[in-house]
Amino acid sequence: MAESDTAVDAERFSPGVPSRSQPFELKGSGALDWGMQSRLARIFRPPTYRTVMLAIDHGYFQGPTSGLERVDLSIVPLLKYADALMATRGIVRSTIPAASCTPVVLRASGGPSILRELSDEQIAVSMEDAARINASAVAVQVFIGGEFESRSVHNMTRLVDESQRHGIPVLAVTAVGRDLTRDARYLRLATRICAELGAHVVKTYYCAEGFDTVTAACPVPLVMAGGRKLPELEALTMVHRAIEEGAAGVDMGRNIFQSDDPVAMIQAVSAIVHDALKPQEAFDQYLRERQ
Ligand code: R5P
């Protein structure tokens, strides 16, 4: 029997209330497909649309580096504090519990070890396998100014083409070769090239002078890599500056997993990124939480 068409029933459709669509607020991402936005929102957590990504993919060219000898023991306990985990498919499948539900940013380029020319990379994961593993994004190294610059850029653009088909975003990692200076001029060049050629997110290093011009010139979210291990207060100060100067979060490895207390450190980083703590406040929290 048809439902009665009374005025009371009509009210349930709220005809006087205009339908509103909610804009996707992540920088430069408003025109992306729904699946792409959904995956980005797993990584860049609303309402801040920022991320604390834990990078543990170092083994793809360095082997079992300090702090990553036993990922099951050192990293798994950190997962609940990370907004995303950047890792290789070998570590994800062998060691990361699927039930952790931490979004995975899958390392998708590789080839040479630390014994060889690092820019000589190829694509190392198909987008089908990234989809199979339920990756929220794939990561590719781009060596602007490096010996195999063009190939690394081509690796990225091929992944971007594939990513558009699958709705899986591409994070471009701007690798800095031994002979290149990490100043704002270089970082603007490298990050902008990645974004212009289609990367949905760009990862780069912090520079003390002019980092705000690097983030301003990059039309998509930029996350800061941690780099070599620093004393905790220095690392937290760098995180704070990067966020203040426009970064959408961090993708840090050694400064977390090589810390004296990685659990306390990742929480202190998160407190800066998501809760606007000052460096000293976050350091005090680190000292309180330290085991
Ligand atoms: C290096 O190529 C990897 O992409 C690392 O994920 C990256 O360097 C971030 O790690 P860290 O904070 O230790 O520099």
Give the pLDDT of residue 176. Answer: 76
- Which are the contacts of 268, defined by CB distance < 8 A and separation ≥ 6? 232, 236, 277, 282, 283, 285, 286, 289
With tokens 């929102």, the residue in question is 41
pLDDT digits (tens, 9 = 90+) for 275-287: 999 999 999 999 9
Residue 5 confidence (pLDDT): 63
Decide if 193 contacts 170 (C-beta within 8 A): no
pLDDT of residue 1: 45
Q: Which of 112, 174, 171 is nearest to 139 (CA)?
A: 171
Cα-to-centroid distance, 226 and ligand 1 (Å): 7
pTM: 0.94
CATH fold of 28-41+48-222, please?
A: TIM Barrel (3.20.20)
Q: Whose CA is closest to 248, among 285, 221, 211? A: 221
Determine the pLDDT at residue 127. Answer: 97
Residues with pLDDT less than 70, the chain: 1-5, 178-179
Single out the catalytic residue among 27, 80, 203, 229.
203
- pLDDT the model gives residue 111: 87
Q: Given ligand 1 and candidates 57, 114, 230, which is best to mutate, with the most ligand atoms within 8 Å of its CB?
A: 57
Q: Which atom of ligand 1 is nearest to the CA of 56?
A: 6
Beta carbon of 203 within 6 Å of any ligand 1 atom:
no
pLDDT for the residue 182? 85
Describe the crossing of helices 232-244 and 279-289 by its angle, rounded to 10 degrees.
Answer: 140
Q: Where are the domains of the chain?
A: 28-41+48-222
Q: Are 257 and 73 in contact (CB under 8 A)?
A: no
Q: How many CB atoms lie within 10 A of CB 234?
A: 13
Radius of gyration over every alpha carbon of the chain, rounded to an integer in angstroms: 21
Considering only CA atoms, which of 205, 201, 202, 203 is closest in space to residue 182? 205
pLDDT at residue 21 in the model: 87
CA–CA dist 56, 89 (Å, integer):
11
- For residue 78, the model assigns a pLDDT of 98
What residues have CB less than 8 Å from 179, skipping those under 6 apart? none
How far is Cα 200 from Cα 205, in angstroms, rounded to an integer?
17
Top mutation candidate among 60, 173, 236 for ligand 1, by most atoms within 8 Å of CB = 173
